[in-house]
Structure 1
Amino acid sequence: MTAPTSSTPASSTPPARDAPRPQISLLLGAVLLAYLGQMTLNPIIAPLSREVGLAEWQIGATISTAAVMVVLTSQFWGRRSQSWGRKPVLVAAFVLATVTMVLFALLAWLGMAGAVTGTALFLIFVLLRGIGFGSALAAVPPTAQAYIADVTTDERARVKGMAGVGAVQGIAMVGGSMIGGLLSAFGLIAPLIAVPVLLGAGLVLIALRLRRESRHERIDTPKRVSPVDTRVWPYLLAGFGMFTALGFIQVITGFIVQDRLGLDSATTGLVTGGALLAAGVGMIVAQTVIVPRSGWTPPTLLRVGGLVALGGFVVLIVDAGAVPLFVAILSIGLGLGIAMPGYTAGPSLLVDRDEQGGLAGLVGATTGLTFVIAPTLATALYGSWAPLPVIVGAAVMALVVLFVFAHPRFRRSRTRAEAEPRRA
């Protein structure tokens, strides 16, 4: 893929010389706090489910519901971020996220006390953690990605900016794993209280510091981008495969740690936090060191990252103790960290400015779609035979690697102007 030039429409219009400086760092800070809120829950979700009496499949269904909400709302949020502006969208998202997670912490406490149990507990879990928080979180990545696409004007800057979004997600994975794991030593309710505190901090940051765009900077009627648009569907399919593979192991990591290492609930939270910390370290190294310094194009990032992640999946299949388990999860984080900027930056270089919000929403919806089925199926497969969801994840990742090596979109350089016809 060639870098866009001023003679092609592949770049956004450069900001005027006297225009305010882009607030990329501030926006990335908001992404960090949103994902810290999400990741802090991950180390305790498995032991929490068992403490309140929910089955593995019920936790999988809750996560899948959140993914459905991401699919249903991401394109809406992506286009609204261009028509309403970034600030109103993010303020609304953080308000919703904070309120729902305050209520979720209260529900979890009532569940552990035995005041709410059974079907009622499960349904309210789905309402708060699935529908409420899922809808709120869906607004954050499309808003950030559309903004970065607006203010970057060439392939290298675009890849670096999109890598920044992935990097803060990796930092959030590390930070959330540490916060959730360490606080779980004081009881499972402690990390549940920390989540709305983090989200509230993000709300304050956005409300007080983020500058709202002037009217002429916004786009009144952002365009939709079709998932079968030939400029973008190969990237969407590759991303769908990557995150499907991840979905098969992400929700069962706590169960793998507890069952393979024979740990109690409190220790499981701490060790699972360490495992997710390893994945986050891999992602941070990939997106703060490897991606910016390599100068690789989006297709190359997808190929290299896919191969590294596939190696991690293969190692994770075998129950060989703690060290191989941690190495496998580190490799998966490293590989996906390399591949993700290729998935997000690649199609953004091929569409127009008024399509960036729609594309960012479509990318978010595609990612969310992978978690509609994968977590529920993974937990169901885990209940029948523990290695099975890892084997399925490895097979999906292998297909992604074959696809990005074989498809013509990833084997030749094309600018956006050369990407016609747009429909398959």
Structure 2
Amino acid sequence: MTASDPPAATTAAPAAQVPLLLGSVFLVYLGQMTLNPVIAPLSRQVGLAEWQIGVTISTAAVMVVLTSQFWGRRSQSWGRKPVLVAALGLAVVAMGLFAVSAGLGMAGLVGGTTLFALFVVLRGIGFGAAIAAVPPTAQAYIADVTADEAARVKGMAGVGAVQGIAMVAGSVVGGVLSAFGLLTALVAVPVLLAAGLALIALRLRREPRHELIATPARVSPLDPRVWPFLLAGFGMFTALGFIQVITGFVVQDRLHLGAETTGLVTGGALLAAGLGMIVSQAVVVPRSGWTPPTLLRAGGATALAGFVLLVPDLGAAPLFAAVLLIGLGLGLAMPGYTAGPTLLMNREEQGGLAGLVGATSGLTFVVAPTLGTALYGVEPALPIVLGAVVMAVVVGFVLVHPRFRAVPEPAR
């Protein structure tokens, strides 16, 4: 070791903190996914229309777009712990008040425009701003501590894998708890988030001041190193956004189920998608050694097959198989989308890039859930068909654009 080399404890410590960061991603998405199986039957029980739930989710996406780059850069200038503590604290408050509001709506004490406004402010604005902080913080950190393509792709796949695990666990938790009443699942969400807040506040170590970057670089979405990946990711998440919010409605209407049963079966469908993501990101991605462009091509084609299978009403088994394929395909493609551009950026740009990736993903959910639920009210197959068309365009784009033919070694 030379005089200029960092001490061994300093270089080893960041890797030891990665599981805690992945744990924070897991707990935030576990809370979100616990809510997903019950949001459709909840809306009908409290008298809100499908489009109002779409607007609520789209509002959360607006907040992700508006705040992701801020959080990504602040994770480099403030440190990861202050960002995560602030975000999880906001999430606990927002979802606690959301559960109270939903309970008042179910009791008939609040309804109509007032209840809709509470849903938008709490689940949309509050939770949307909170969840925007978590993936950019984790992704920027992983990009900062990985030095080669294989390690970085594996690290980014880890972020996606814990999201998939959260989808599985949240589907199970939300579906099972909904059998005891929808309010039970709603109350579980802030409890899970509070557990995550306690974990981060008590266990995550702050970076030494010299590891922080006072003025992280801004990254333009038009940067030629970045925009092809952003466009591919935008298409993928747009296609997903068309069907994610309507899954509960599809399950209820195609299988002719009641409210509590819908929550349980929708949880099973989301479980299938989560299992697909776990298999692809925890097994296929680390063992395949595929480059980011290859992951985008293979994943996009697999997800497209799932969208096509979901279009016709073929019964329960094909519905579950289609959702499984979509989860498997997007699980393959997501590490390619998140890791690919990081290999082209300098350290000072990683926070801004992570925020930009998060903002791009969030941007797709500004329009897609509202449009998807509106189209579902016109003709149930329309949002699924539109999602399949968008996914087909993405597959064609990543096959022909020269940026996806090779990705160089990481820039430092």
> Is the structural similarity TM-score above 0.5?
yes
RMSD: 1.3
Aligned-pair distance for 1:413? 4.1
Aligned-pair distance for 1:146? 0.3
**Contact (CA 8 Å) 1:102, 1:193: kept in 2 or not?**
yes
| Partner residue of 2:277 out of 262, 277, 283 | 283
| Partner residue of 1:154 out of 135, 148, 151 | 148
| Partner residue of 2:308 out of 306, 311, 314 | 314
The one-letter code of the counterpart of 1:395 is: V
Aligned-pair distance for 1:71? 0.0
Aligned in 2, Cα 1:111/1:314: closer, same or farther, shift over 3 Å?
same
Do residues 21 (structure 1) and 21 (structure 2) align?
Answer: no
- Give the match for residue 75 of structure 2: 81
The one-letter code of the counterpart of 2:386 is: V
- Give the match for residue 255 of structure 2: 261
- Give the match for residue 422 of structure 1: none
Aligned-pair distance for 1:335? 0.2
- Give the match for residue 206 of structure 1: 200
The one-letter code of the counterpart of 1:120 is: T
CA deviations 1:290-333 (Å, max 9, x no partner) are 00000000000000000000000000001000000000000000
**Contact (CA 8 Å) 1:152, 1:158: kept in 2 or not?**
yes
| Partner residue of 1:405 out of 368, 377, 399 | 399
Aligned-pair distance for 1:18? 3.0
- Give the match for residue 39 of structure 2: 45
Do residues 93 (structure 1) and 68 (structure 2) align?
Answer: no
List aligned pairs for 1:82-121, cutoff 5 A: 82-121=76-115
**Contact (CA 8 Å) 1:184, 1:270: kept in 2 or not?**
yes
The one-letter code of the counterpart of 1:29 is: G
Aligned-pair distance for 1:247? 0.2
Whole-angstrom distance in 1 between the partners of 2:196 and 2:5: 29
List aligned pairs for 1:174-185, cutoff 5 A: 174-185=168-179
Whole-angstrom distance in 2 between the partners of 1:348 and 1:42: 31
**Contact (CA 8 Å) 1:14, 1:153: kept in 2 or not?**
no
The one-letter code of the counterpart of 2:281 is: Q
CA deviations 1:229-255 (Å, max 9, x no partner) are 000100000000000000000000000
- Give the match for residue 66 of structure 1: 60
| Partner residue of 1:362 out of 345, 348, 356 | 356
Whole-angstrom distance in 1 between the partners of 2:6 and 2:286: 23
- Give the match for residue 330 of structure 2: 336
Aligned in 2, Cα 1:14/1:172: closer, same or farther, shift over 3 Å?
farther
| Partner residue of 1:385 out of 364, 379, 382 | 379
- Give the match for residue 169 of structure 1: 163
List aligned pairs for 1:29-40, cutoff 5 A: 29-40=23-34
The one-letter code of the counterpart of 2:363 is: L
Whole-angstrom distance in 1 between the partners of 2:5 and 2:66: 32
- Give the match for residue 297 of structure 2: 303
**Contact (CA 8 Å) 2:372, 2:383: kept in 1 or not?**
yes
Aligned-pair distance for 1:415? 4.5
Aligned in 2, Cα 1:200/1:257: closer, same or farther, shift over 3 Å?
same
How many residues matched? 406
Whole-angstrom distance in 2 between the partners of 1:101 and 1:330: 29
| Partner residue of 1:394 out of 358, 381, 388 | 388
Q: Does the residue aligned with 2:207 lie in a helix, a strand or coil?
A: coil
Aligned in 2, Cα 1:15/1:404: closer, same or farther, shift over 3 Å?
farther
| Partner residue of 1:240 out of 234, 241, 246 | 234
The one-letter code of the counterpart of 1:364 is: G
* TM-score, normalisation: structure 1: 0.94
Aligned-pair distance for 1:411? 1.4
Whole-angstrom distance in 1 between the partners of 2:111 and 2:185: 21
- Give the match for residue 375 of structure 1: 369
- In structure 2, runs of 5+ residues without a counterpart are none
Aligned in 2, Cα 1:153/1:416: closer, same or farther, shift over 3 Å?
closer
Q: Does the residue aligned with 1:21 lie in a helix, a strand or coil?
A: helix
CA deviations 1:56-78 (Å, max 9, x no partner) are 00000000000000000000000
Aligned in 2, Cα 1:371/1:342: closer, same or farther, shift over 3 Å?
same
Whole-angstrom distance in 1 between the partners of 2:43 and 2:162: 28
- Give the match for residue 421 of structure 1: none
Whole-angstrom distance in 2 between the partners of 1:43 and 1:370: 21
**Contact (CA 8 Å) 2:172, 2:271: kept in 1 or not?**
yes
Whole-angstrom distance in 1 between the partners of 2:5 and 2:72: 21
Aligned-pair distance for 1:14? 9.6
CA deviations 1:336-376 (Å, max 9, x no partner) are 00000000000001000010000000000000000000000
The one-letter code of the counterpart of 2:120 is: V
